[in-house]
Amino acid sequence: MRPLRHVVPLAVCAVSFAHAAEPGAGATVSAPAAAPAPAPAAPAPAPSFTAEELDAAIARTSEQLRRAGSESLRAPLALRLGDLWVLRARQHAKAGQSDRALDAYDQALQAVPAHPIALVEAGWIQLEAGKPDVARGLAETALAHDGDNAFARELRGEILYRDNRLEDALDDFRTALLKRPGSASLARRIEKLEKELTSERDYRRADSSHFVLRFDGDRDESVRHILLDTLERQLDDLQREFSVSPLPPLTVILYTSRQFHETTGTGDEVVGLFDGKVRLPVGGVTRVTPGLERVVRHELTHALLHARGRGTVPKWLHEGLAQVMEPRDLARYRTGVLREAKPGETLDLEPFSYPKAFTYVAYLEAQYSRARLLWFVDLLAAGNSEADAFAQAFGASRDETLEGWRRWLAQK
Ligand SMILES: [Zn+2]
């Protein structure tokens, strides 16, 4: 088999979720904001093997390596073994089995210390698992062996970005793009980061136990303490509701309304965004209103669901549960949602709308319990398909619950 030394690494994307304002505050929105998409372009073509074929090849190559006498025989066998383990790791990662993927990348690194692809791809998994320090160590090891490794640069750029070191991140992304000039995703990443740098050039930061708040010192100094208190209080409450273990510090950035829409590329109806960081168009406010508390709870729910579901939670559940947790008032939405189905037609979640997502998740919670909703999230995080996870958690297919949802709304 030919060695696969230059396969493009898989990477995991952050997801962004815009959400709509309350009715009356503007039109509804259904398009999410542009995703930051740190992922590299499509993987280079690689021969596809079944898990059994790979396991057999790994066993065979390990045995050959064990028997090989001289270094000149061992070196190519070790390289091949490392590549085989990387392919096996990708199968686990694709199936959502991060722990097994990390074990396989470890095996690749035992065969080939500093295997560049194993380092970078394991780094992305560690980053998404909330371990930026481990991810950083892997990226630095890759760069120590090869400072030109564009994929390791991109990974380190993303780690720096999440740590709010925007200029350092931009440096890494630009260097990566020089090595991979055809990468549209890197070019988009750089463009987005440049916009953020323009908005946040003179921003200051304030830290609390679980948050890094970034704000304009002249404009938002008076509100920073009260906003950090609100964030801590709401996070504490939501963490208890979701039993999510502590997350790495979450960044919250304050913009004016205009800065917000320019930076995030969203329409006027969007009142908050979570794309790995929470972005709020509240720059210049002087107090925390009940409306702002609701936006905070909404965006923090996205952050917690994203963490618990390891990025696998579908949009209807993200937006539905975020609205349940605000909390929104069901009575204001039920008639409008019921009107979305024509007489004789089933009320369906497609096409997506915020009121439908909200009332459907409220129904699932009332009918089946919060615990089952969270179990569904855990099943998704473990790598199950949405249909399988749904059937297991609720004992029915999603289609089978739609009529119950309509009846429940009609009775409310
Ligand atoms: Zn939302």
Distance 153 CA to ligand 1 centre (A): 31
Taking only the tens place, the pLDDT of each residue in 164-181 is 999 999 999 999 999 999
Per-residue confidence band for 46, with pLDDT thresholds at 50, 70 and 90? low
Taking only the tens place, the pLDDT of each residue in 286-313 is 889 999 999 999 999 999 999 899 889 9
Distance 321 CA to ligand 1 centre (A): 9
* DSSP code of residue 245: P
pLDDT of residue 17: 39
pLDDT of residue 1: 33
Q: What gap in Å lies between CA 216 and CA 219, rounded to an integer?
A: 5
Per-residue confidence band for 47, with pLDDT thresholds at 50, 70 and 90? low
Distance 319 CA to ligand 1 centre (A): 5
- Coil, strand or helix: which one is 214? strand
Strand-pair partners of 203: 216
Distance 252 CA to ligand 1 centre (A): 15
Distance 172 CA to ligand 1 centre (A): 30
Q: Where are the beta strands (DSSP E) in 142-249?
A: 203-207, 211-216
Beta pairing, strands 211-216 & 250-254: parallel
C-alpha distance across the termini of the chain, in Å: 63
Alpha carbon of residue 194 to chain centroid: 21
The pair of structure tokens assigned to 35 is 């995703």
Q: Are 16 and 35 in contact (CB under 8 A)?
A: yes
CA distances from 124 to 137, 158, 189, 268, 270 (A): 11, 9, 16, 33, 30
pLDDT of residue 283: 81
Distance 295 CA to ligand 1 centre (A): 9
Task: Report the CATH fold assignment for 202-300.
Answer: Glutaredoxin (3.40.30)
pLDDT over 50 at 328, yes or no: yes
Per-residue confidence band for 285, with pLDDT thresholds at 50, 70 and 90? confident
pLDDT over 60 at 281, yes or no: yes
Q: What gap in Å lies between CA 54 and CA 100, rounded to an integer?
A: 15
Burial of 312 (0-12, 13-18, 19+ CB in 10 A): buried
pLDDT over 60 at 44, yes or no: no
Distance 366 CA to ligand 1 centre (A): 21
pTM (2 decimals)?
0.82
Residue ranges covered by each domain of the chain: 10-113, 202-300, 310-412
Taking only the tens place, the pLDDT of each residue in 56-67 is 999 999 999 999
Q: What gap in Å lies between CA 154 and CA 39, rounded to an integer?
A: 9
pLDDT of residue 95: 87
Name the one residue in this structure whose structure tokens are 């829409």.
261
Q: What gap in Å lies between CA 347 and CA 338, rounded to an integer?
A: 7
Taking only the tens place, the pLDDT of each residue in 94-103 is 888 889 999 9
Distance 273 CA to ligand 1 centre (A): 7
- Which residues have CB atoms below 5 A from the ion given as ligand 1? 17, 19, 319, 322
- Coil, strand or helix: which one is 280? strand
Beta pairing, strands 278-280 & 250-254: parallel
